[in-house]
Every structure is written in structure tokens, then in C-alpha cells.
């Protein structure tokens, strides 16, 4: 029987037998379920992915509210910046583009979740880009942080490197904690200190924004956020849900099953 004809609950078992290599180096890790709640989340994940791949629709209604907080980077994550330099690179014209499916993502986010911005750009640039990106949603943001809130990070290749210490959010923003915070960035080194709370997306570029087909990154991120939302019906810690199905595995499942659904 073909994998897509199996009961949804067997999908991830089938996927585990694949030889999938991440970033051309390490083979995808094996893990065993440790509790009944993880088993429930595993079933939800397989069901959800197949529904999304086949029709883009999941039959259950989403809860109307959530305590989840999604903290977004800007440039490279939600928007793409293009610079055209003049002579001797002393001046340039800057153009900013919203990434494909950004509006659809924001419409869903502000319907169900708390949303914030944390950029590593200076304050002036952060404010400008945030207003451009979020439009009427700007006033609904929980906070807008910039480079001054980041921590300097040693990096031999980038003397200006910074990281985002989530502990600063949890200490300064009421109602936030490790159990309900997810940060999204396109540069892993900025969020790698909190692997169970971060989603790393492919950086927006001219190539994946202007091709004949739309860049699917934010659409797939939206699907994953919907999965996290449903998972919170079963457990009160988003880290547990992300442990069962990390974003990178979610993308692998979509890539694996998409051709079979055509």
C-alpha cells in the first residue's frame, strides 16, 4: 500500500525509515516516544501534515485565543532588502520587499497569537521596517526591540555579530516564559542558545522571491504555527510540541509527501 493511502497515524513511522540528510552532513536523528502526550502529538503531526499537503486545509477549528508569543526578525525573515550602489559604493538606493505570503501569515498571527519584533538593526531602521511590514498591525505588537536589546556575540567572521537572549523577554515582559515563546529568525547563530524555542527559516533572497513560483517559506511557517497552536490543546509547553516535530522535520515531511499527492 502506498504511504499516502495508509492511516495518517502511520505516516511518521514510514518517514523514519527514510535516509534523510540534513544540510549535507548529519543523518536525521532517531528518537523514541517517552510519554503518552508525545504519542498524541505524533499522531496530530502526521494527520496535520497530510491534510495540509493534500488540500491546504485541516478539518478541526482552531482555538480562538492562545498564550503563544511569536517574536519575529525582520530583514531576511519577513522582508527582503535590495541595495543598488552608486559609484564607489558610497551611496545606494534601498528597496524593501515583503516576502511571499507575508500578509496571509500576519492575518493569522494577529487573529490568534501575541506577536513581537526583535531585529538586530539599529532603532531607526527597525522602526521604519516594522511599520512598513506590519502596517495597521503595528500598534498591536507586544514590543518592538532593536540592536540595543541584543547581546554582543564573538564571531571571527563577523565582528558585529549579536545574539538574542530570550531571558531578557521573560524577565521584562509579563506573561512570557520558555513554555510559550517562539522566536523566528533566518540566522541561526542569533538564536542558537535557545534551540527548543527557535524556528530558523531560509533567508529571503532575490532568487527565492522573484522566481516564477512563489517562495513557500512563510506559507510553510504558517502551517507549522497552526500545528503548534493545535498542539497546545494537548500540552502547555510549546517546547514539547517542537521536540516531537521540529520545523526542519516538518519541512522534510512536506517535501517527501508533496510529489505523492499530485
Domains and CATH numbers, the chain: 1-61+232-262 (no CATH), 69-215 (3.40.50.1000)
* CB-CB neighbours of 245 under 10 Å: 22
Sites in the chain below the pLDDT cut of 70: 1-35, 58-65, 84-93, 156-157, 206-212, 259-262
Rounded to two decimals, the pTM is 0.79
pLDDT of residue 182: 98
Phi, psi of 141 (to 5 degrees): -65, 140
| Torsion angle (degrees, nearest 10) of CA 129, 134, 140, 141 | -40
Q: How far is CA 129 from CA 44, 114, 123, in A?
A: 36, 19, 10
Query: 242, exposed or middle or buried, with CB in 10 Å at 0-12, 13-18, 19+?
Result: buried
pLDDT of residue 160: 80
Q: By C-alpha distance, which of 187, 195, 201, 190 is closest to 242? A: 195
Residue 94's DSSP bridge partners are: 83
Residue carrying the nine cell digits 491546504: 56
| Residue 21, C-alpha cell as written in the block | 540528510
Whether the CB-CB separation of 235 and 241 falls below 8 Å is answered with: yes
pLDDT of residue 121: 94
Amino acid at each position: 500500500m502506498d504511504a499516502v493511502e495508509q492511516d495518517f497515524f502511520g505516516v511518521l513511522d514510514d518517514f523514519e525509515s527514510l535516509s534523510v540528510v540534513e544540510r549535507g552532513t548529519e543523518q536525521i536523528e532517531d528518537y523514541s516516544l517517552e510519554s503518552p502526550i508525545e504519542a498524541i502529538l505524533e499522531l496530530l503531526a502526521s494527520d496535520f501534515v497530510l491534510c495540509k499537503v493534500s488540500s491546504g486545509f485541516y478539518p478541526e477549528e482552531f482555538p480562538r485565543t492562545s498564550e503563544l508569543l511569536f517574536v519575529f526578525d525582520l530583514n531576511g525573515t519577513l522582508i527582503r532588502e535590495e541595495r543598488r550602489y552608486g559609484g564607489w559604493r558610497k551611496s545606494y538606493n534601498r528597496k524593501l520587499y515583503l516576502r511571499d505570503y507575508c500578509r496571509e501569515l500576519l492575518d493569522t498571527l494577529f487573529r490568534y497569537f501575541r506577536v513581537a519584533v526583535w531585529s538586530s538593526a539599529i532603532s531607526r531602521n527597525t522602526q521604519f521596517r516594522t511599520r512598513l511590514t506590519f502596517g495597521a498591525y503595528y500598534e498591536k505588537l507586544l514590543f518592538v526591540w532593536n540592536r540595543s536589546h541584543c547581546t554582543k556575540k564573538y564571531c571571527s567572521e563577523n565582528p558585529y555579530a549579536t545574539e538574542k537572549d530570550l531571558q531578557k523577554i521573560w524577565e521584562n515582559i509579563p506573561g512570557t516564559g520558555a513554555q510559550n515563546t517562539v522566536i523566528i529568525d533566518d540566522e541561526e547563530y542569533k538564536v542558537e542558545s535557545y534551540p527548543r524555542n527557535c524556528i530558523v527559516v531560509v533567508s529571503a533572497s532575490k532568487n527565492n522571491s522573484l522566481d516564477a513560483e512563489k517562495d513557500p517559506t512563510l506559507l510553510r511557517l504558517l502551517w507549522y504555527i497552526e500545528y503548534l497552536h493545535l498542539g497546545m490543546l494537548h500540552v502547555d509547553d510549546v517546547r514539547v510540541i517542537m521536540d516531537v516535530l521540529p520545523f526542519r522535520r516538518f519541512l522534510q515531511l512536506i517535501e517527501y509527501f508533496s510529489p505523492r499527492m499530485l
